[in-house]
Amino acid sequence: MQAMNARVSAARAGEHGREFSVITQVLADIIKEMDQLVRHLVNSRQ
């Protein structure tokens, strides 16, 4: 959710928000990967 809010803010910032948008995309990818890893660990312990 926070990554999505950050993307909206970056889009509103226009030219100045491009670099910020790239960072938020990387963070969103990391969060997604971490979520998948945690789910895998939880499922493997059951």
11 phi-psi bin (left φ>0, alpha ψ -120 to 50, beta other): alpha
pLDDT at residue 2 in the model? 64
Amino acid 20: pLDDT? 73
Per-residue pLDDT reduced to its tens digit, 2-45:
666 776 776 777 766 677 777 778 888 998 999 999 999 999 98
- How many whole angstroms separate alpha carbon 24 and alpha carbon 17? 10
pLDDT of residue 46: 79
The pLDDT of residue 27: 85
pLDDT, position 44: 92
